[in-house]
Structure 1
Amino acid sequence: MKAPNVKFGYWLERAGMSRGELARRVKSKAVKWGQPHISTDTTRVRFWLQGETPRQPIPDILAGVFSDHFGYRVTTYDLGFGDGSSAEAALVYHSSLAATVEAVADLGRADVDRRKFLSTAPFAAAAGVGPSRDWLLSTLDQEPDPDSGARLRLEDVTAVKNMFSTFQRMDIFQGGGSGRLVLADYMNQHVYPLLRRAHSEDVRRALCEAASEQTYLLGWMAYDNGEHSVAQRYLIQSLRLAGESQNPALGAHVLAGMADQATLLGNPAEGRRLAQAGRQGLLKTNSSACLADLWCLEARALALLGDTTAAAHAVVQSERAYERALPGSEPNWAEFIDPAYLHGEHANTFRDLGDAGAAEEHARRSIQHATKQKRARRGAMSQAALAVSHLQRRDLDAAYAAGLRTLKLTGQVKSSRAVEAVQDLQRRMSPFGTHRLVADFNERARSLAAA
């Protein structure tokens, strides 16, 4: 005999709902989520109280009903129905905004609680195909609405925008592992609940835009910290929120992040396709910095695919696009797209093409800008690219010197990408065997990893 679901009973009693009222709300919520076939009644509610677990998506719908009632997120876990389908739901580009809000809120709660099911969820290699297609079709079909501009009159929207700048600078200067869970908790407590409220159209779009920016940043910080399955899910939900805000440049920016991740994880063909989808999405708007980033990331993918001519062309297109960017005219989320970043990524492109001269030139230009800005993470990654360019010329002494600078800067940030750049440098030094410089570098790298 099943044990009664005490947790579910607690929330039902606390809400002051009758079984019939809960059943009616479940049906109404199911319709809003695009699931009109779902039907329930008081008998089913009684079975749930007695310990029966309903099939998906009913647990998620129940969580949505209670969340709406209380004004904060109540999850399937809270209701005694386990972790629900949070990991899978966050991989879906939902047609319903309500379902999107529940998916990203569940993801945020699980992230903060460090739920095991989320940490062990795999990165889904082809998961970006559907979301990028759906976003692109929606974006290209949208007609500009002169009255739809986000006037940002709502104090909460302005506050979210301001917090974005704070957390973005934390990521840029301290690495994605610094402050990400604080940001996730802030989103769960203050931002996602706002999306459940009724607003005028312009305020709703403004909220979706602000939430998309912050959700993207959560994904990017998780990506930089090596938590790729979590990052992927945040990025997909950020893309959906960007679509709801009708800001195609923001959506293209999210696709750039997805492209970067796909290429890093060994799927450059997917990375290239996502970058191209982002460029298509910019056809009805203008963001020179975002376009420069998308060309830059396409070049990275093309280099790994071995297409030297196309990769070099993409680098040129990236540089031309950035020349059109006007300081102060780009959105806050594009702040990191600057010479330090672009030259650093171009250095990696030419590194992968085996062009040591071009890689060194771009790495040095990136380092110069990063040093002025005191950006340790970007400096570390560009110093690593410089070291590799020296190794490609068989200059171990110069590579070792750049490698030491890489280690020093990596120790200043919480970034798995910077650590991975060190590990890549170790692998590339291995052909030099037991040389004393290699042995010393490996010993210092081990100390960094331990720390």
Structure 2
Amino acid sequence: MDPSRRSVLGAGLFSVALTIPNWPDVVGRMEAAQVGDVQAMGMTDVNTVIAMTERISELDDQFGGRHARPMAAAFLINTVAVYLKTEAPEPVRKAMMSAASDLCYLTGYMAVDEGLHNVAQQYYVKALELAGAAEDHLTYCTTLRGMSVQAVNLGHGQAAMRLADAAAAASPQAGPRMRAFLAGQQAHSAAKVGHRAEALARLREAEVAMDQAESQEKTFGSYDPAALSYHTSEVRYELGDLTGSIAAMQQAGKLRHTVYRRTRVHHQALLAERQLQVGHLEAACATWRSVLDDYPLVHSARADERMHTMLTSLRPHLKNNTARALYERARTTVPHTALA
């Protein structure tokens, strides 16, 4: 990493730290770690890593992995790596390894969003190592599931199934929301390889678990009914039920309490593609117009891929006034570098 790039990333990290309560102390600890001036580590340092991970995750949700991952990588190298080498009581050391594991998982997830799949694998493997050492079953299972998501989206259905099943097996005492989180991915993976009965059984398992979670927990969770509707849409699509897939994706949009911009771009673009597949050109164009409202603020290879698909899909329909207007707008909105 060249010095000028390091200074830019450092400035970005410190601006993120400003949003954390007690930020002067957080910034001071980050500066001490970066110059190697850490004599001992405590739970305050662990909480710093947790808080920074949460803030970087929020940036990723709104602006995409290409925007946020460099900051996460710099924080891992310059701060977290120093903490992991610092002496501390065993409970504190395990807590730091757990926090570092979560940050590695997030960084891998953002690398997937950038299309850097080999890089993502390296972060995921390190997240598993750290979670195992910390006896952090939650992050361990979440990382395996993340690897399954990566595999299924790359078309590796059998590998996705193995990883999804391993994630579920590693979390035998998971609560209902976590069971839904894991079973939904098992359903998608099974559908990808054409295992219809297993896919539908896992989807039903996820639905039952989600009902239990919603009745027990009134607070918003990271896996919610909208996320389950998205998985339902993916399962139906893989099993050939295109109309059902569209309905489930539309339901996901209606249910979502807080729609992160990057997620909205990805899911709405998929919805438009499927609407066009069933011949609903006007509806697809309307959905794509909403995507173009958000897309310029999202720095994501996955979003770029969806825009490339949109332009390719519209070309045969340019005699239609609505399609042509959308196509011309997209040509001025989507940078050529994003479609290279």
* Shorter-normalised TM range: 0.7 to 0.9
User: What CA distance in whole angstroms lies between the structure 2 residues aligned with 1:329 and 1:373?
Assistant: 12
Say if 2:120 is the partner of 1:231.
Answer: yes
Task: Look up the match of 2:179.
Answer: 291
Say if 2:221 is the partner of 1:350.
Answer: no
Highest RCO, 1 vs 2 (Cα 8 Å, sep ≥ 6): 2
Say if 2:98 is the partner of 1:209.
Answer: yes
Taking structure 1 as reference, are residues 170 and 327 closer, same or farther at Cα in structure 2, changes over 3 Å only? farther
8 Å contact from structure 2 (residues 145, 185) kept in 1:
yes
Taking structure 1 as reference, are residues 294 and 426 closer, same or farther at Cα in structure 2, changes over 3 Å only? farther
The answer to which of 434-443 and 417-426 deviates more is 434-443
Say if 2:262 is the partner of 1:377.
Answer: yes
Bigger share in helix: 2
Q: 1:270 offset after TM fit, Å?
A: 0.4
Q: 2:285 is aligned with what amino acid?
A: Y
Say if 2:219 is the partner of 1:219.
Answer: no
Taking structure 1 as reference, are residues 379 and 324 closer, same or farther at Cα in structure 2, changes over 3 Å only? same
Unpaired runs of at least 5, structure 2:
1-34
Q: Provide Cα deviations, 1:70-119, integer angstroms capped at 9, x if missing partner.
A: 959xxxxxxxxxxxxxxxxxxxxxxxxxxxxxxxxxxxxxxxxxxxxxxx
Task: Look up the match of 1:262.
Answer: 151
8 Å contact from structure 1 (residues 359, 385) kept in 2:
no
Q: Provide Cα deviations, 1:136-172, integer angstroms capped at 9, x if missing partner.
A: xxxxxxxxxxxxxxxx962101111111211111112
Q: Provide Cα deviations, 1:178-216, integer angstroms capped at 9, x if missing partner.
A: 221112111212111111123222112111100000111
Q: 1:368 offset after TM fit, Å?
A: 2.2
State the structure with more CA Rg.
1
Taking structure 1 as reference, are residues 419 and 288 closer, same or farther at Cα in structure 2, changes over 3 Å only? farther
> What does 1:28-427 align with in structure 2 at a 5 Å threshold?
71=36, 154-283=43-172, 285-325=173-213, 326-327=216-217, 336-370=222-256, 372-426=257-311
User: What CA distance in whole angstroms lies between the structure 2 residues aligned with 1:420 and 1:413?
Assistant: 12
Q: 2:266 is aligned with what amino acid?
A: M
User: What CA distance in whole angstroms lies between the structure 2 residues aligned with 1:169 and 1:352?
Assistant: 30
Q: 2:181 is aligned with what amino acid?
A: D
Q: 1:289 offset after TM fit, Å?
A: 3.1
Q: Provide Cα deviations, 1:267-310, integer angstroms capped at 9, x if missing partner.
A: 11101110000000011x32433332222222222222223332
Q: 1:317 offset after TM fit, Å?
A: 1.8
8 Å contact from structure 1 (residues 219, 234) kept in 2:
yes
8 Å contact from structure 1 (residues 249, 281) kept in 2:
no
8 Å contact from structure 1 (residues 351, 385) kept in 2:
no
Q: TM-score normalized by structure 2? A: 0.78
Taking structure 1 as reference, are residues 340 and 414 closer, same or farther at Cα in structure 2, changes over 3 Å only? farther
Q: 2:103 is aligned with what amino acid?
A: Q
Could you say what the CA RMSD is over the residues aligned between the two structures, in angstroms?
2.6
User: What CA distance in whole angstroms lies between the structure 2 residues aligned with 1:328 and 1:433?
Assistant: 46
Unpaired runs of at least 5, structure 1:
1-69, 73-151
The alignment partner of 2:194 has SS state of: coil
8 Å contact from structure 1 (residues 259, 272) kept in 2:
yes
Aligned length: 296
Q: 2:202 is aligned with what amino acid?
A: A
Q: 2:279 is aligned with what amino acid?
A: R
Q: Provide Cα deviations, 1:241-285, integer angstroms capped at 9, x if missing partner.
A: 0101102121010001101111111211101110000000011x3
The alignment partner of 1:394 has SS state of: coil
User: What CA distance in whole angstroms lies between the structure 1 residues aligned with 2:245 and 2:174?
Assistant: 29
User: What CA distance in whole angstroms lies between the structure 2 residues aligned with 1:327 and 1:172?
Assistant: 23
8 Å contact from structure 1 (residues 387, 403) kept in 2:
yes
Q: 1:441 offset after TM fit, Å?
A: 4.1
Q: 1:225 is aligned with what amino acid?
A: E
Q: 1:170 is aligned with what amino acid?
A: L
Q: TM-score normalized by structure 1? A: 0.60
Q: 1:439 offset after TM fit, Å?
A: 4.4
8 Å contact from structure 2 (residues 164, 189) kept in 1:
no
Aligned-pair identity in percent equals: 28
The alignment partner of 1:198 has SS state of: coil
Q: 2:241 is aligned with what amino acid?
A: D
Q: 1:425 offset after TM fit, Å?
A: 4.3
